[in-house]
Amino acid sequence: MTNHLKIAPIQQNPSLKARAYEALKLAITDMNIYAPDAQLRLDERDLSQRFGVSRTPLREALAQLESEGLVRIVMRRGIYINRRTKAEILDMITVWAALESMAARLATKEATDAELAGLHALVDVFNVDEVSQRMGEYSDANIRFHQAIIALGGCKLIEEITNGLFFHVRAIRQRTIFENERVKRSIVDHKEIIAALEARDTERAERLVREHTLKLREHVDRNVNLD
C-alpha cells in the first residue's frame, strides 16, 4: 500500500466514465490515507492529464465516488479523499472486533479442518525475531489473515458489513502495525487464534479475536493523531 496515488493512463472507449471510476477507486484504495504524509487533496486537472481523459468523465467518476463516501467535493475549495476522524476510526474498529470475533465463533463450527489449516500459511512463515526484515510482506499477510477469519465464518452479512469498513480499517492497520513492537505481538496472537480455532474452542477463539482487534483500538486511541 502506498501513501500517494498511482495513476496509469486510461484507454479511450465508450465506457470512459466507468473506467475512470474503477481506475480512480483502485488508486485511492491502494494508498494509505492515514499515513502522516498522505496527500488527500486531488487536483482535477492533474488527474485528467495523468489518466489521459477529458474532465467530463472524470467529474462523473468523482461524483460516484463521492456518493460512496470515498471522496468529498467542496465547492470553491477542491476535492479531497475522505479520511475519517479518529472517533470514527475507533468506532469502526469496535464494530470490526465484534463482527470478526463472531465470525471466529462461527468458524469453529462451520469451517473444515483443511480451511482452518490454511491460516498457517499466513502466519507460520514469519519468525518473531526476523519479521522486522519482512515488514511489508507481513503487513499484507496480516490483513489477509483477518479477512480469512471473516470468510471462514460463512456469514455473508458479516462479510458485507466488514467490506464497508475494510478500506479504513486496513489503512489504519497498515499504518500502526510497525509501531511499538505491535508486529511481534501480532504474530503471537495470530498463532494463539489459529490454535483455538483448530481445537474448536469456540469461546476462546471468539475472545482472542475480539481482544486482538481491541488492542488495535487501544493503540490508536493512545498513540495515533489523525488531526
* pLDDT value of position 13: 53
CA distances from 150 to 157, 188, 213, 215 (A): 10, 19, 13, 18
Beta-strand relationship, 41-42 and 78-81: antiparallel
What pLDDT is attached to residue 217?
Answer: 96
Q: Half-sphere exposure (CA, 13 Å, Cβ side) for 190? A: 30
Neighbour count for residue 125 (Cβ, 10 Å): 12
Model confidence at 2, pLDDT cuts 50, 70, 90, reads low
Cell representation of residue 134 = 519482512
Instruction: Report which of residues 65 and 226 the model is more confident about.
Output: 65
Q: Over the chain, what is the mean pLDDT? A: 89
Other residues' Cβ atoms within 10 Å of the Cβ of residue 80: 14
Name the residue ranges covered by the structural domains of the chain: 16-81, 86-223
In this predicted structure, what is the pLDDT of residue 6?
A: 72
**In the prediction, which pLDDT does 17 show?**
85
CATH architecture of 16-81: Orthogonal Bundle (1.10)
The pTM assigned to this predicted structure is 0.81
Please state, as a whole number, how many other Cβ atoms lie within 10 Å of the Cβ of residue 227: 4
* Confidence tier at 8 by pLDDT (50, 70, 90): low
Model confidence over 92-148: pLDDT tens digits? Answer: 999 999 999 999 999 999 999 999 999 999 999 888 777 767 777 888 888 999 999
Q: Which residue type is seen at 131?
A: V
What is residue 11's predicted lDDT score, i.e. its pLDDT?
Answer: 57
Structure confidence at residue 212 (pLDDT): 96
Neighbours of 15 (CB within 10 A): 10
- 86-223 has CATH 1.20.1250.20 classification: no
pLDDT tens for residues 19-41? 888 888 888 888 888 888 888 89
C-alpha distances out from residue 103 to 75, 111, 138, 143, Å: 42, 10, 22, 15
